[in-house]
């Protein structure tokens, strides 16, 4: 076996992360042991699973365990497992680079964050895993041999930018991580991680539920000075989810959550259930109180792990939790599945689909309870996860009603408070049978949109929807509690006349009064603007603005159009409708001017300005801003 040492550099991001870890981002250094034990436990799970699936794999799984060993003279602490081990390539890939999706993004975000507290809370969401060893060690030596291979590898680093790697013979299958502990100079209050009591305390606190024995060699001296050597198992090994709820403390739940989620967020809800009958399973689910930083990045995984009779099968089990509930973390332990089960088969499995339906109901039920019992906590929850839940309105039509009950939205009713659809319905005016909303990019843009004018003047409440996902779900959900949802920027609106069957206003009396007066102006405008709009008509939704642009009931909103274009979608321009305020002085003056001299180019320019102004008012982009500005300045100058 070649024993030549190769020195490699850590990937740039890894180096940055290491620097952060070493320079103490965690005030609590104890967690290094939890991280190493959790890695060891994962490695044992993997070996057990692999040996069950691959009967040719020659490994001894009769005594899978984790062993902790202390060498007082050398000042080392070693965490050893007889699990799956790593090949040389595994080490370079898993330890030398950051494979975790989102890590680079996280580091980027941290660099941009000037505020130290915010940076701390960002990194706090993120388990740094193996690297946490460098919080307490100035050198780490890892020896490992992958199950099914002959040769082992030794990896060593001081965490400063490079690591050494070489082949070694004579290793057992599994991994040992030896920490050369930093010297404690008493001053900095660092804990003594060579002390047995200290190690016992940390294991009990963080790793008690690990299903594999965590053993440590002990030395005892009795009163007569007789020393005995023994081996103690430090953890109770009971899977938390298998214990009755009444016997589990909140602190234990939280520790378990940290272990499976690799983050350190507080918990908002814990769901612990056991299903009996022909398909038995236990489920322990957690809703964190804060969204992870990568909740909306494309490759965010689902957070539920699948076990079969205490054997770990897979992470992020998408068959058990829909994408929109990806923030739910936890464990499902099913008793009657094959260990060999694949993701594809799971998706098809009738029993698993039943479990999934039940889990969704449980989660939505827990959220509903939170909404009913604690408005403040619910508001916080919604601010973190509302956007994800609204995706459910697109994905999960079985639960549309339940999800709509949970929706919270800003509204013209109260500038400081959100409202539920239920509360909106309770406040509806006599005879109102429609839930009005307006989508847009920001609250200010929506509130100040000309479309709002008549609704505000007449006292109708309008929901203000500014999440990108709002653009989509409102089109998919026909009604809430029998009340249609309608955009105030779409279709005809007449707040004086009762709406007819398909909700289009019957044509307002106020508007009808003016139709006659505008009989020549409207067709003329339609010709001038034929490239831009499909129709020009009089409006009953404006009180102070001269004009606004509206869509037909099924037209795409401008925000949605923008979103599609931003995603690179090729789309023909969407032509909408220009509505004019028949009582606005600019519009009446335009009418008179056109009647006096139908060929005056100045009138045509005013038309362009009216259209451009309406586009700007709804947050749209002008096709030719320079021309618009020139026309505007010309006309202003002429007016002075
Ligand atoms: P995480 O555990 O969140 O994946 P870590 O930094 O703790 O991140 O570990 C990185 C990877 O290194 C693990 O996913 C695993 O593949 C590998 N690894 C770490 N420790 C061990 C071990 N004791 N045995 C086998 N593989 C390990
Ligand atoms: Mg880990």
Q: What is the pLDDT of residues 88-123, one digit of tens each?
A: 999 988 887 765 556 666 667 766 766 656 555 555
Whole-number pLDDT of residue 515 = 82
State the ligand closest to the CA atom of 96.
1
Residue nearest ligand 1's atom 23 by CA: 40
In whole angstroms, give the CA distance from residue 40 to residue 35.
9
309 — alpha (psi -120 to 50), left (phi > 0) or beta? left
Any idea which of 114-118, 203-207, 245-249, 331-335 has the lowest mean pLDDT?
Answer: 114-118
Position 507 scores a pLDDT of: 46
DSSP string, 502-514: TS-----HHHHHH
Q: How far is the CA of 39 from the centre of ligand 1 (A)?
A: 5
Alpha carbon separation from 478 to 388, 403, 483, 487, 557 (Å, rounded): 20, 14, 8, 12, 17
Indicate if the alpha-carbon torsion angle 131, 133, 137, 140 is positive or negative: negative
Q: Which CATH class is domain 407-639?
A: mainly alpha
Residues in contact with ligand 1 by the CB-under-6-Å rule are 35, 39-40, 43, 81, 83-86, 94-95, 127, 129-130, 175, 262
Let me know the angle formed at the C-alpha of 333 by 129 and 64, rounded to the nearest 5 degrees: 55
Are the CB atoms for 91 and 144 separated by under 8 Å?
A: yes
Q: Name the residue at shortest CA distance from atom 8 of ligand 1.
A: 129
Give the CATH number of domain 6-233.
3.30.565.10
Whether residue 25 is predicted with pLDDT greater than 90 in this model: the reply is no
Q: Which of 502, 533, 347, 344 is nearest to 433 (CA)?
A: 502
Give percent above pLDDT 70 in the chain.
Answer: 90
Q: Domain limits of the chain?
A: 6-233, 240-382, 407-639
Same fold, 240-382 and 407-639: no
What residues have a C-beta under 5 A from ligand 2, the ion? 39, 129
Mean pLDDT of 251-275: 91
**What whole-number distance in Å separates Cα of residue 493 and Cα of residue 503?**
9
Residue 197's pLDDT band (cuts 50, 70, 90): very high
Q: Per residue in 496-545, pLDDT tens?
A: 654 444 444 444 555 777 888 899 999 999 999 999 999 999 998 899 99
Distance, in Å, from the CA atom of 409 to the CA atom of 418, rounded to the nearest integer, reads: 5
DSSP-derived pairing of the beta strands 533-538 and 174-181: unpaired
Tell me the DSSP string of 321-368.
Answer: S-GGGTT-EEEEEESSS-TT--HHHHHH-HHHHHHHHHHHHHHHHHHH
For residue 175, which ligand has an atom nearest its CA? 1
Q: Residue 39 Cα, ligand 2 centroid: separation in angstroms?
A: 5
Give nearest CA residue, ligand 1 atom 16.
94
- Alpha carbon separation from 538 to 76, 492, 554 (Å, rounded): 83, 10, 20
Residue 235 makes CB contacts below 8 A (sequence gap 6+) with 203, 204, 207, 208, 209, 210, 213, 214
Map tokens 């020195």 to a residue. Answer: 7
Local structure of residue 459 (DSSP, 8 states)? T
Q: Is 223 exposed, middle or buried (0-12, 13-18, 19+ CB in 10 A)?
A: exposed
What is the fold of 240-382? Ribosomal Protein S5; domain 2 (3.30.230)
Question: Using CA of residue 338, residue 339, residue 342, residue 346, what is the dihedral sign?
Answer: positive
In terms of average pLDDT, the best of 52-61, 99-108, 155-164 is 155-164
332 Cα distance to chain centroid: 21
- Residue 475 scores a pLDDT above 60: yes
135-150 pLDDT, tens digit each: 899 999 999 999 999 9
The first and second tokens of residue 425, run together, are 């319905």
Tokens of 224: 């007569």
- Among protein residues, the one with the nearest Cα to ligand 1's atom 18 is 39
What pLDDT shows up at residue 569? 83
Residue 428, SS3?
Answer: coil
pLDDT digits (tens, 9 = 90+) for 587-602: 999 999 999 998 889 9
* 199, 201, 205, 208 alpha-carbon torsion, rounded to 10°: 70
CA of residue 37 to ligand 2 center, whole Å: 8
Give the pLDDT score at 222: 85
Give the lowest-confidence range in 92-101, 253-262, 279-288, 318-327.
92-101
Q: Could you tell me which residue, 298 or 73, shows the higher pLDDT?
A: 73
Two structure tokens written together for 474: 């409102």
């Amino acid at each position: 076996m070649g024993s030549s040492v190769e020195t490699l550099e850590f990937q740039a991001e890894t180096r940055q992360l290491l620097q952060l870890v070493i320079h103490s981002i965690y005030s609590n250094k104890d967690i290094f042991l939890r991280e190493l034990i959790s890695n060891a436990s994962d490695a044992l799970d993997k070996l057990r699973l692999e040996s069950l699936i691959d009967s040719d794999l020659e490994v001894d799984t009769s005594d899978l365990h984790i062993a902790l060993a202390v060498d007082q003279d050398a000042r080392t602490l070693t965490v050893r497992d007889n699990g799956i081990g790593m090949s040389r390539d595994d080490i370079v890939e898993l330890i030398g680079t950051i494979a975790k999706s989102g890590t680079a993004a996280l580091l980027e975000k941290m660099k941009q964050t000037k505020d130290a507290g915010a940076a701390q809370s960002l990194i706090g969401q993120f388990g740094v895993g193996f690297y946490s060893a460098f919080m307490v060690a100035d050198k780490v030596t890892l020896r490992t041999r992958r199950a099914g291979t002959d040769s082992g590898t030794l990896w060593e680093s001081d965490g400063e930018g490079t690591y050494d790697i070489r082949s070694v013979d004579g290793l057992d299958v599994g991994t040992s991580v030896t920490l050369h502990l930093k010297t404690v100079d008493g001053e900095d209050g660092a804990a003594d991680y060579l002390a047995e009591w200290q190690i016992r305390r940390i294991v009990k606190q963080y790793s008690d539920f690990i299903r594999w024995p965590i053993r440590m060699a002990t030395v005892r001296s009795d009163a007569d000075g007789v020393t005995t050597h023994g081996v103690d198992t430090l953890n109770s090994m009971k899977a938390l989810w298998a214990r009755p709820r009444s016997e589990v403390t909140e602190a234990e739940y939280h520790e378990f959550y940290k272990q499976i989620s690799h983050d350190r967020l507080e918990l908002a809800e814990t769901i612990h259930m056991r299903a009996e009958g022909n398909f038995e399973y236990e489920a322990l689910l957690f809703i964190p109180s804060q969204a992870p930083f990568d909740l909306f990045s494309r490759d965010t995984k689902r957070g539920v792990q699948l076990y079969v009779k205490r054997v770990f099968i897979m992470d992020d089990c998408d068959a058990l939790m829909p994408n929109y509930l990806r923030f739910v973390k936890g464990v499902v332990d099913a008793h009657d599945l094959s260990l060999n089960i694949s993701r594809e088969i799971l998706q098809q499995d009738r029993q698993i689909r039943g479990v999934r339906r039940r889990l969704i109901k449980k989660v939505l039920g827990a959220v509903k309870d939170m909404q009913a019992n604690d408005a403040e906590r619910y508001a916080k929850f919604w601010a973190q996860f509302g956007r994800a839940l609204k995706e459910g309105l697109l994905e999960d039509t079985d639960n549309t009603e339940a999800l709509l009950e949970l929706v919270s939205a800003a509204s013209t009713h109260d500038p400081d408070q959100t409202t539920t659809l239920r509360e909106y319905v309770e406040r509806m005016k006599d005879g109102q049978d429609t839930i009005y909303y307006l989508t847009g990019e920001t609250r200010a843009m929506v509130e100040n949109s000309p479309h709002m004018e008549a609704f505000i003047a007449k006292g109708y409440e309008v929901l203000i929807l500014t999440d990108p996902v709002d653009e989509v779900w409102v089109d998919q959900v026909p009604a809430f509690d029998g009340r249609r949802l309608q955009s105030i920027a779409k279709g005809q609106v007449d707040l004086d006349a009762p709406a007819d069957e398909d909700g289009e206003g019957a044509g307002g009396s106020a508007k009808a009064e003016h139709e006659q007066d505008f009989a020549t102006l409207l067709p003329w405008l339609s010709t001038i603007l034929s490239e831009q709009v499909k129709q020009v008509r009089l409006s009953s939704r404006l009180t102070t603005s001269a004009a606004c642009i509206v869509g037909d009931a099924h037209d795409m909103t401008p925000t949605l159009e923008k979103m599609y274009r931003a995603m690179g979608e090729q789309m023909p321009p969407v032509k909408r409708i220009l509505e004019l305020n028949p009582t606005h002085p600019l519009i009446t003056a335009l009418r008179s001017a056109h009647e006096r001299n139908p060929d005056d180019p100045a009138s045509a320019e005013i038309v362009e300005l009216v259209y451009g102004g309406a586009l700007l008012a709804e947050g749209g982009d002008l096709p030719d801003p320079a021309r618009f500005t020139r026309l505007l300045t010309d006309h202003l100058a002429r007016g002075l």
